[in-house]
Every structure is written in structure tokens, then in C-alpha cells.
Amino acid sequence: MAAMKIGELARRAGLSHRTIHFYEQKGLIQPSHREGRGYRYYDETTLKRLQKIAALKALGLSLDEIGEVIHLYFEDNSGLRGKREVLRILKNHLGDADRRLAEVTRFRDDLLRNIARLEGLIEAAEHE
């Protein structure tokens, strides 16, 4: 595997240098090796990790959640362990969304009741 400097990795991944450094700081990726004046070199596996990070972000996972599961995709060639864990996370997200939706629906219903009550009071006062 040919080593890439950060510029080539960024270009091939469609990311900025800054994003790659950020992912490195978060522990999502790491250079395959360093040389000379601290230049970082990356390999194809790093590029694949960046592509997987993008796919997981598109599913709605946070970077912390991605950090919890990304290694599973590279330890298990079938990807099943990673997919099962992502499915668990997405189901948790769905549960959270359902709870928030129920709260918003209750709030909306309360608003409608309060509006109707006030409209009734105003109408009654206007007819007095």
C-alpha cells in the first residue's frame, strides 16, 4: 500500500486537512507512520475508515457513537458486528425521537386548548 500525505488523503476523501486532524484527535483515525519533521503518512485503510465515518455520519451517528463502532467494521470482514451495533444505536435514536415527538405533540395539544379557551373568553367578553 502506498503511503499518502494528508493533502492526498484529504483530496481522495473529500475532506479538509482540518477535519482529518480533528478525526485524528478524536481517535477515529491515525497515521500509518510518521517521518522526518513529523509528517504524517496514511494508507488505504485510513481512507476506508474515512469513507466509513462519512457513511455512519449520514446515518445520523455522532462522532462519539462512530468512535464506539468503527473498529467493528475493520475487525469483522462481514461487517455484521458493526451493523448490529449501528442498528442498536439507531433504534435508540428512534426511541428518543418518539419520546420527543410525544412531548411536542402534548405541547401542541396544550397550546390548541389554551388558544381555544382564550378565544372563547374573548368572544364571551365581546358579547357581554
Ordered domains of the chain (ranges, CATH): 6-126 (1.10.1660.10)
d(C-alpha 121, C-alpha 123), whole Å? 5
Residue with cell string 475487525: 75
d(C-alpha 69, C-alpha 85), whole Å? 7
Higher pLDDT, 51 or 3: 51
pLDDT value of position 64: 96
Instruction: Reply yes or no on whether the pLDDT at 78 is more than 60.
Output: yes
- In terms of residues, how long is the chain? 128
d(C-alpha 46, C-alpha 9), whole Å? 8
CB 82 within 8 A of CB 76: yes
Instruction: Reply yes or no on whether the pLDDT at 12 is more than 70.
Output: yes
pTM for the model: 0.80
Q: What is the DSSP letter of 60?
A: T
pLDDT value of position 39: 81
Instruction: Reply yes or no on whether the pLDDT at 35 is more than 90.
Output: no
Instruction: Reply yes or no on whether the pLDDT at 79 is more than 90.
Output: no
Higher pLDDT, 78 or 98: 98
pLDDT value of position 1: 57
Residue with cell string 481522495: 12
The distance from CA 14 to its chain's CA centroid, rounded to whole angstroms, is 17
